Structure 1
Amino acid sequence: MNKPWLSLYPSEIPHEIDFEQRTLQSYLKEAAIEHPSKTAIHFLGKKLTFQELYDQSLKLANYLRDLGVKKGDRVSIMLPNCPQAVISYYGVLFAGGIVVQTNPLYMERELEYQINDSGSQIIITLDILYPRVSKVKALTKLKDIIVTGIKDYLPFPKNMLYPFVQKKQYGIVVKVEHNGENHLFTEVMKESQVNEIDVDIDPENDLALLQYTGGTTGFPKGVMLTHMNLVSNTTMSVKWMYKCKRAQEKVIGILPFFHVYGMTAVMNLSIMQAFEMVLLPKFDPETTLKTIQKEKPTLFPGAPTIYIALLNHPDIQKYDLSSIDSCISGSAALPVEVQEQFERVTGGKLVEGYGLSEASPVTHANFLWDERVPGSVGIPWPNTDSKIISMETGEEAQVNEIGEIVVTGPQIMKGYWNRKEETEAVLKDGWLLTGDLGYMDERGFFYVVDRKKDMIIAGGFNIYPREIEEVLYEHEKVQEVVVAGIPDPYRGETVKAYVVKKQGTTLNEEELDVYARKHLAAYKVPRLYEFRDELPKTAVGKILRRALIEEEKQKIAK
């Protein structure tokens, strides 16, 4: 195969890795044996060692088995970044189950769809999310709800004070009894045993994860990722970051674990390498700056919006960020000026990578300590091949010719859950058609220039226009609507809805906003609305979303 980029690899990074055929959870057991008393998780002052993390994961696994979880059963995890999210993830895997990562921002409609699609009968969630989950229970096959709270893993006296903070912040304090089909995480840890469970897992073929993603048609699809998909991608990350020393690094965990990038680049990497994870349940610039100064993390995987928000904090100069050594940015394009400014402030390295849920997720990245090209997403990782397919000929494109990026490697998904046709549309002879447009230069650096898909990436979140359109179409006063991602200097893109009102009705932005917030997660709600008499269409009546995006770009250019 023609892989010009291999000549750029430093001697420390192998071209090919001989991967161990192992389950993801076996790395947690290994870390607990090798480093039992080392801190695995630091969470707002509370510390958990690798031994404690392993024991508590096994306790949960045994409890899940008692609830009837068998090999291949799906268990949903709807949690922010907290110790329980890590315990739950590995606990499900130890039980032989398949993790279904569920965004805590999901509203009832989205939650009902994902639970039904995945077939989950158990969900592990946060107390403040319990009312939302309980509302959809009767509409799904959910049998058991395991409930935890942020306070459960806070040190004293924060754990005593947190309910008051929660009430002030969210307006509610939820109390759930430990009985019947509701189970308290704290009681699970008291009642359950630390027993190893023998489940016969084939790492190459058995699923570890259903990671929901979307596209231009319909609702999100469950990406089927095997143990080896995730083990291979995490191992590639270890080799790429060759200066990082096993059991000596600290990773700041702001990227959410329900997003495949945070799951691999923070959680799975930290467990595989016995790194300490410094977790924050949500991103707040000031809290992040204080945490970096106090805890001194060395690795900072992130998204451009995170780095931009920190750089724009008025007091950034007051904080010591010099512990930051390495950052790989994903989820959206990294502006060159942000990269350069962040490196000046921290003294560390910040480089851009590329990937997608279907690839566990990383396929390309720039080198951290060797040559990199600003504006490029870098070169393919070990054991990974990539090429550009011409949009005109369907053959491999010429150097610097724009076409569709396709990738292959051991990290590529098995397919979409229960969606044979959609799987066959994107997996061709082992190659994944990404739907992204880009080109490769003479030396093998890749560049992403646009998306074939209509997916919007705002603030690192993947947002699917049709899902929003379907919600807005249900409003009684909406005749036509199209949703598009328009350029935004901070979020990368922002969601804008173009609306045609039904004749004789009055409808304003505020009314639509209230309606959308009832049915969509906050990050999907349009930030902008524009009312029009008509929308641009093709001869067959298809609304031209791309034409609207071009209008917005021309406005900005002026």
Structure 2
Amino acid sequence: MSELQPWLNMYPEEIPATLEYTNESVQQYLINAAKDYPNKIAIHFMGKEMTYKELYDSSLKLAGYLQSIGIEKGDRVAIMLPNCPQSVISYYAILMAGGVVVQTNPLYMERELEYQMKDSGSKIIITMDILFPRVTKVMGQTDLQHVIVTAIKDYLPFPKNLIYPFIQKKQYGISVNVKHEGNHHLLTEVLKQSQKSIKEHSVNFEEDLALLQYTGGTTGFPKGVMLTHKNLVANASMCKAWMYKCKEGEEVVLGILPFFHVYGMTTVLILSVMQANKMVLLPKFDPETTLKTIQKQRPTLFPGAPTIYIGLLNHPDIQKYDLSSIDSCISGSAPLPVEVQQKFEEITGGKLVEGYGLTESSPVSHSNFLWDRPRVKGSIGVPWPDTDAGIFSIETGERLPVGEIGEICIKGPQVMKGYWNRPEDTAQTLRDGWLLTGDIGYMDENGYFFVVDRKKDMIIAGGFNIYPREIEEVLYEHPSVQEVVAAGIPDPYRGETVKAYIVLKDGASATEDELNEFARKHLAAYKVPRLYEFRKELPKTAVGKILRRALVDEEKKKLKEDQEKRA
């Protein structure tokens, strides 16, 4: 056992240190599921269900149609959909046709959409009827040649399918009528047509791209992360090995995490199909709808993000719902407060552990153990099978010993091929096979890793290095605090100063003085926030990750405006 990988000593005997991969493409797992479990329910969506055979047949039909309108091997096809049956059908259809999936956030406005379509060179986009006007506005500035349109009502049961268009018009204020003609295509019409012959193509497991997954763009323009079939299959296989008590074909997976976020795509979409599990899809997170869905559909697996679990825990009627079906949850995308973890486990009786990863690692690289091993408070866990990880000096690039703080770096089969058309960025992020995460942390003697903070989020105030996560963990323990984010804002004297943005629980109250007194009991004086701001909500990504950078940018803008007024 390498002393550089002490975590392998912690593995329970059920988890192998290394895995065997079958060299099968991502889409092959749908073919396998349809063959082995044809009548098993693949998708439940707002009352309507679809079997694995139906999912496969629809995907194959759409794949043939994509080829008939010009898609060839390696062409990029965008999906701009919420979690719904059409998003799953489209995903596997694109891969069957030989294309590369480009996941696109349905919340994108024209400018963001145009950038991503131009950067990826996507030829076709599959989207919702209410997003169609937005797409048509950017088509002329991009390589897009065709738009395939679907609607939520297309996969709703009767009478919801008749009622939903009225709800949609009331909610969004628009009603869109798209005709199946020219370069505009209706998915319902496509799937009514007879199966078109499919041109077979071989898949190079290690080299061929399955996905261009765009990073959030919080540090500049979003970059397309090139993920191969091997990257995605390896990461889903690691997840399967980690969750060794889960039974193939028997689990029910709650799909709230959006598929346009790589964490939801791997842990819900790919893993569910790989294991022929049932996906219960929700197009957006709403606490009450989610609680009702859990009680009715009895999911056993619930991958999520901290804000989702916090949103449920703070629902006033949570005790009225039976959440006992939930067995296993791995939280990702942001740090999981210890208090949230403990409360959620008390209410559900299931296990909730923190995991860690990046888009560039497909995404998971570390997790705490769900079973048979004690969890370590505040840790992101240990590296997954076939994954090496280490702490490297930011100054010298040397690997650091146990306990020393540096940059977390990762190596493994789930690490991306590189950034799309960005060789310089790729060279800066991938070095000698190691992925430089940009996260600061350390490893203990047992191989458990701890994230101290993002390299770019570290606050330097009066010469002291301050890590926002430490401040947030303390303030989360205050009984009135629902959400908190700490950030470094410009300060003429200290360089930066700590400001805490607080969302209070419904009906709760707290003053700046109270929070300040609370923080001083648990933090060194230089770490205690100098400023507090109470808000109704915090800016977040679609997956619920709090956008610290957006708050910092707000402060910088205010400062600049103040300076201009004084001048």
Q: Shorter-chain TM-score: what band?
A: 0.7 to 0.9
CA deviations 1:532-553 (Å, max 9, x no partner) are 455999xxxxxxxxxxxxxxxx
Q: Quote the residue 2:222 is aligned against.
A: 220
Q: Residue 411 and residue 193 in structure 1: after superposition, are their counterparts in 2 closer, same or farther (change >3 A)?
A: same
The one-letter code of the counterpart of 1:161 is I
Q: Quote the residue 1:553 is aligned against.
A: none
Q: Quote the residue 1:442 is aligned against.
A: 445
Which of residues 354, 370, 373 is equivalent to 2:376? 373
Q: Quote the residue 1:544 is aligned against.
A: none
Distance between the aligned counterparts of 2:445 and 2:143, measured in 1?
53
Distance between the aligned counterparts of 2:278 and 2:327, measured in 1?
15
CA deviations 1:409-432 (Å, max 9, x no partner) are 000000000000100001111110
Q: 2:403 matched to 1:400? A: yes
Q: Quote the residue 2:418 is aligned against.
A: 415
Q: Quote the residue 1:300 is aligned against.
A: 302
Q: Quote the residue 1:40 is aligned against.
A: 42
RMSD between aligned residues: 2.7
1:9-24 alignment, distance < 5 Å? 9-24=11-26
| Alignment check: 8 A CA contact 1:55 1:194 kept | no
Give the Å deviation of 1:391. Answer: 2.4
Distance between the aligned counterparts of 1:194 and 1:349, measured in 2?
46
The one-letter code of the counterpart of 1:119 is G
Q: What TM-score comes out, normalization by structure 1 length?
A: 0.83
Q: Residue 347 and residue 408 in structure 1: after superposition, are their counterparts in 2 closer, same or farther (change >3 A)?
A: same
Distance between the aligned counterparts of 1:197 and 1:38, measured in 2?
28
| Alignment check: 8 A CA contact 1:387 1:406 kept | yes
Give the Å deviation of 1:93. Answer: 0.2
SS of 2:141's equivalent? coil
Q: Quote the residue 1:52 is aligned against.
A: 54
Distance between the aligned counterparts of 2:437 and 2:212, measured in 1?
18
Q: Residue 273 and residue 487 in structure 1: after superposition, are their counterparts in 2 closer, same or farther (change >3 A)?
A: farther
Distance between the aligned counterparts of 1:425 and 1:432, measured in 2?
9
SS of 2:8's equivalent? helix
SS of 1:422's equivalent? helix
| Alignment check: 8 A CA contact 1:216 1:453 kept | no
Q: Percent identity?
A: 66
Q: Residue 487 and residue 52 in structure 1: after superposition, are their counterparts in 2 closer, same or farther (change >3 A)?
A: farther
The one-letter code of the counterpart of 1:397 is L
| Alignment check: 8 A CA contact 1:329 1:350 kept | yes
Distance between the aligned counterparts of 2:186 and 2:291, measured in 1?
33
Q: Quote the residue 1:432 is aligned against.
A: 435
Give the Å deviation of 1:104. Answer: 0.3
Q: Residue 167 and residue 16 in structure 1: after superposition, are their counterparts in 2 closer, same or farther (change >3 A)?
A: same
The one-letter code of the counterpart of 1:257 is F
SS of 2:304's equivalent? coil
Q: Quote the residue 2:343 is aligned against.
A: 341
| Alignment check: 8 A CA contact 2:249 2:275 kept | yes
Distance between the aligned counterparts of 1:489 and 1:370, measured in 2?
36
Distance between the aligned counterparts of 2:13 and 2:545, measured in 1?
46
1:114-263 alignment, distance < 5 Å? 114-193=116-195, 195=197, 197-214=199-216, 218-263=220-265
Q: Residue 484 and residue 222 in structure 1: after superposition, are their counterparts in 2 closer, same or farther (change >3 A)?
A: farther
How many residue pairs align between the two structures?
A: 487
Distance between the aligned counterparts of 2:546 and 2:112, measured in 1?
13
Distance between the aligned counterparts of 1:54 and 1:297, measured in 2?
23
Distance between the aligned counterparts of 2:293 and 2:216, measured in 1?
34
The one-letter code of the counterpart of 2:191 is M
CA deviations 1:201-258 (Å, max 9, x no partner) are 1111100000001567531000000000000000000000000000000000000000
**Which range moved further: 316-325 or 525-534?**
525-534
Distance between the aligned counterparts of 2:427 and 2:433, measured in 1?
10
1:279-358 alignment, distance < 5 Å? 279-358=281-360
**Which range moved further: 130-139 or 326-335?**
130-139
| Alignment check: 8 A CA contact 2:334 2:545 kept | no
Distance between the aligned counterparts of 1:333 and 1:195, measured in 2?
48
| Alignment check: 8 A CA contact 2:25 2:203 kept | yes
Q: Residue 489 and residue 27 in structure 1: after superposition, are their counterparts in 2 closer, same or farther (change >3 A)?
A: farther
Q: Residue 390 and residue 420 in structure 1: after superposition, are their counterparts in 2 closer, same or farther (change >3 A)?
A: same
| Alignment check: 8 A CA contact 1:213 1:222 kept | yes
The one-letter code of the counterpart of 2:106 is P
CA deviations 1:261-312 (Å, max 9, x no partner) are 0000100000000000000000000000000000000000000000000000
The one-letter code of the counterpart of 1:163 is P
CA deviations 1:368-421 (Å, max 9, x no partner) are 012221210000000000000022432111211110000000000000000001
Distance between the aligned counterparts of 2:135 and 2:164, measured in 1?
22
Q: 2:59 matched to 1:69? A: no
Q: Residue 488 and residue 202 in structure 1: after superposition, are their counterparts in 2 closer, same or farther (change >3 A)?
A: farther
Distance between the aligned counterparts of 1:366 and 1:444, measured in 2?
11
Q: Residue 376 and residue 123 in structure 1: after superposition, are their counterparts in 2 closer, same or farther (change >3 A)?
A: same
Distance between the aligned counterparts of 1:484 and 1:246, measured in 2?
51
Distance between the aligned counterparts of 1:153 and 1:283, measured in 2?
19
| Alignment check: 8 A CA contact 1:151 1:162 kept | yes
Q: 2:407 matched to 1:387? A: no
Q: 2:430 matched to 1:451? A: no
Give the Å deviation of 1:139. Answer: 1.1
**Which range moved further: 183-192 or 324-333?**
183-192
Distance between the aligned counterparts of 1:489 and 1:366, measured in 2?
28
Distance between the aligned counterparts of 2:113 and 2:11, measured in 1?
44
Distance between the aligned counterparts of 1:106 and 1:123, measured in 2?
14
SS of 2:25's equivalent? coil
| Alignment check: 8 A CA contact 1:222 1:417 kept | yes
The one-letter code of the counterpart of 1:193 is Q
Distance between the aligned counterparts of 1:350 and 1:287, measured in 2?
21
**Structure 2: where are the runs of 5+ without partners?**
459-467, 473-486, 488-495, 505-538
| Alignment check: 8 A CA contact 1:60 1:192 kept | no
The one-letter code of the counterpart of 1:9 is Y
SS of 2:370's equivalent? coil
Distance between the aligned counterparts of 2:56 and 2:546, measured in 1?
34
Superposed structure 1 runs of 4+ greater than 3 Å apart: 194-197, 214-218, 453-458, 483-491, 521-537
Distance between the aligned counterparts of 1:366 and 1:522, measured in 2?
20
Distance between the aligned counterparts of 2:103 and 2:457, measured in 1?
23
SS of 1:350's equivalent? strand
Which of residues 74, 84, 102 is equivalent to 2:86? 84
Distance between the aligned counterparts of 2:174 and 2:562, measured in 1?
45
Distance between the aligned counterparts of 2:261 and 2:221, measured in 1?
17
| Alignment check: 8 A CA contact 1:58 1:195 kept | no
Distance between the aligned counterparts of 2:146 and 2:59, measured in 1?
18
| Alignment check: 8 A CA contact 2:305 2:545 kept | no
Q: Quote the residue 2:7 is aligned against.
A: 5
Q: What TM-score comes out, normalization by structure 2 length?
A: 0.82
Give the Å deviation of 1:195. Answer: 4.9
Distance between the aligned counterparts of 1:437 and 1:149, measured in 2?
43
